[in-house]
Amino acid sequence: MKRKLLMNAIGGISDSHIGEFAEVKPQKKGAVVWMLFVSVAACLALLLISISVINNYVNTPEGSVSAIPYVKINDMVYIIDSNYPNTTTNELSDEYIVIGKVERNPSSNKSQEKDNGDAIGCKVGDEIFQSPDLPNEIYVYTTLFSSSGEYRYVRFICKE
């Protein structure tokens, strides 16, 4: 009798609970597991892409290039100052002289040997300036990272 009482009580549950599951379509077995896998994979992919994008843009100025900009001149490699854009200037003092120009934009293959005149990020023909008193830095007159295409002096430093 008790079980019948309970069964009858279940029979009297609200219409909302009855109607909620009146028409339930069969699901493919394993569909729930597959959906979980797909969801997790999608989240992971999104996370990886986000990390890659954020990493590419953190400390990277507007109009980023795919590799770290550098210039090789006089057998020394200068890479863009990490304090960019704070070290960019529209004018240089008189002691800065032209020591060369960008001659090539090689591929960003790190294993490839760099030659004098190679540069990544700066255009061929961009002038390279240096002060004789400061051999560990150069300025390149370039539109690098300029969204408006404006020329200014961008600082590169030698880590060696």
- Nearer CB in complex with another protein: 22/54: 22
**Which parts of 31-70 interact with another protein (CB under 8 A)?**
31-32
Q: Is 6 in the site for another protein (CB under 8 A)?
A: yes
Which listed range, 5-13, 45-53, 80-88, 94-102, lies at the site for another protein (CB under 8 A)?
Answer: 5-13
121-150: contacts with another protein (CB under 8 A): none
Which one among 12, 91, 93, 111 touches another protein, defined by CB under 8 A?
A: 12
Q: Among residues 38 and 98, whose Cβ is nearest to another protein?
A: 38
Q: How far apart are CA 156 and CA 81, in angstroms?
A: 5
Assign 24 to helix, strand or coil: coil
Buried b or exposed e, range 106-144, using 16+ CB within 10 angstroms = eeeeeeeebeebbbbbbeeebbbbbbeeeeebbbbbbbb
Helix (H) or strand (E) holding 113: none
Choice between 1 and 58, CB closer to another protein: 1
Report the DSSP beta bridge partners of residue 131: none
Distance, in Å, from the CA atom of 111 to the CA atom of 20, rounded to the nearest integer, reads 64
Piece in contact with another protein (CB under 8 A), picked from 10-18, 104-112, 113-121, 132-140: 10-18
Between the alpha carbon of residue 137 and those of residues 60, 69, 156, the distances in Å are 19, 14, 6
Q: Name which of 13 and 54 has its Cβ closer to another protein.
A: 13
Query: Interface residues with another protein (CB under 8 A)?
Result: 2-22, 24-32
